[in-house]
Homo-oligomer: A and B are copies of this chain.
Amino acid sequence: MFVPSDLRAAVSDQAWLTAMLEAERALASAEATVGLIPARVAGPIAERCRPGLFDAEQLAAAGRTAGTPVEPLVRRLTELVGGEAAGYVHWGATSQDIMDSAAMLVTRRALDLILGRLDTVAGSCAGLAEAYRTTPMAARTLLQQAVPTSFGLKAAGWLNATLDARERVADLSARRLAAQLGGAAGTLSALGEHWPAVTREYARELGLAEPELPWHSDRGRVAEIGAGLAVAAGTMAKIGRDVVLLSQVEVGEVVEAAAGGSSTMPQKRNPVSATLAIACARNARAQAGVLLEALEAEHERAAGAWQAEWPALSGALAATGGAADAVARSLHGLVVRPERMAENLAAGGGLIMAERVAYLLAPERGRLAARDVVAAAAARTHEGASFRDALAADPQVGLSHAELDVALDPAGALGAAPELVDRALARHRALKGGAA
């Protein structure tokens, strides 16, 4: 329910069927090109590699008996082709060649959709980072107000993490998606001397990299795709989590533009998209775990681990896309409330400036001693005193009222926040420039 329809389609049974047929077509075409099979049969085979001629549901049912849907698909394709060309369908290949190559095609398309969402997310983060570059808000560590920061820096952190995730996913897409052709068990024996030419041409036809070796039971690339998706999804969950926390009524610093209503509570403005991002990310990570587990593969084709990859890969792609899509919606038009940020900064009566005060005293007293003096003043606020009064009353502090005014002003304590925002924005611009 959380996955947008284009991503659902990209990993659907239909998408897998289409990709499997693309692999069969590429195989015949490559083999005809290099002269392993007669040139005249490639056309008739390609002609029948049309998904509309196949029933995905039927193949899945038959696939339960064969252990893969490829066996019945090849049988059906051979029937459809007929004549001499039928004899050359699936020549030299095994089911796993078709499934694994199809998995790569499905993955590539889904990764493209995911990258598009990550770009949207990055764009929104960049917009927020720029707009709120110097808007003071409370930084929070262990969910406690810590020191001032700017909302721009928070958004810049989201941006930077999203760009990392994007780079990693793009790199997987560019470098780790490889065609798979190994024949029955990785020796390509039915291709004879043509094997190097066929594998090269097959990869070229599919637009996938040619691997060093067939990877029937070297599942590193699939595991890495899983890991990359889990990292990307987890990055989306981080943004979602922050939005959920900032949206709390008591915090109130952001509101999703399309916050969700409740079936019973009229006032509710739920951060629905941020919430769904978190939900999706958990499902993505779980599926990625199956892909990492599949590395322990037996001999030349695993019994169980490999078959578990198919739904897990689809699931991880869909859920990661769902997470990125949800964050894109969450940040789209996000209502940001600098006035609530200011109120919250002030709510602790200046306690959030405690570190800054301590550093004013530190050159004279030493850092730790200064911290302890200010900590004692802070502790007195728990008995009702204002922090300012507690500081003013403490001879160990010894700051004038004017000095206290400066010390307790959050806007003057953003540190490197604006410049760090600029760094993230520059990186974003550079990547966008590179992508354009």
Contacts and interface: CB of A to CB of B under 8 A. Distances in A.
A268 B89 CA distance: 19
A189 B220 contact: no
Contact of A299 (B141, B290, B374): B141
B160 A267 contact: no
Given A157-B213, A250-B347, 10 more contacts: A64-B272, A65-B258, A89-B368, A142-B301, A143-B245, A143-B271, A149-B300, A212-B424, A235-B295, A264-B355
Given A231-B220, A283-B308, A238 B414 contact: no
A272 B66 contact: yes
Interface in A71-99: 71, 74-75, 78, 84, 86-96, 98
Nearest to A288: B292
Chain A binding surface, main DSSP class: helix
Question: Which 8 pairs, one residue from A and one from B, show the smallest C-beta to C-beta distance?
Answer: A87-B366, A278-B304, A234-B295, A189-B415, A139-B185, A187-B415, A227-B227, A141-B301
Contact count band on A: 35 or more
A49 interface: no
A101 interface: no
B139 A344 contact: no
A260 B66 contact: yes
Contact of A217 (B74, B238, B267, B373): B238
Contact of A367 (B89, B188, B420): B89
Contacts of A65: 258, 260, 272
Given A140-B300, A272-B65, A305-B278, A168 B264 contact: no
A195 interface: yes
A85 to B, nearest CB: 9
Contacts of A283: 290, 308, 311-312
B212 A144 contact: no
A195 B149 CA distance: 15
Residue among A237, A304, A387 with most chain B CB within 10 A: A304
Given A191-B415, A267-B378, A235 B249 contact: no
B416 A188 contact: yes
